[in-house]
Amino acid sequence: MSKAPTWHGPHFLHPCSAPGCESEGAFGEGVSLRRKRLGRWWCREHLPKTFWDHEPAAARMPEKKSDQGRLL
């Protein structure tokens, strides 16, 4: 089985990136299907300890201006 994520018809197959692992990867990093970035995937057993060490996307978004979203 190839370690590279691929499309197989309408299905997106993403095997675990760990050497020798045959499981499907449920946790992806660097994935953007809109931008055709298939990223790397890991199963729960091989998930890197640093996987959760990133800042959530919501924390990186700029703050809304106080008048944003109000109808004048």
Predicted local confidence at residue 67, as pLDDT: 62
Kindly report which listed range (16-25, 39-48, 57-66) carries the lowest average pLDDT score. 57-66
Average pLDDT over residues 41-63: 76
Q: Which of 38, 53, 46 is nearest to 19 (CA)?
A: 46
**What does the pLDDT average to over 16-23?**
92
Q: What pLDDT is attached to residue 19?
A: 92
pLDDT of 46 strictly over 90: yes
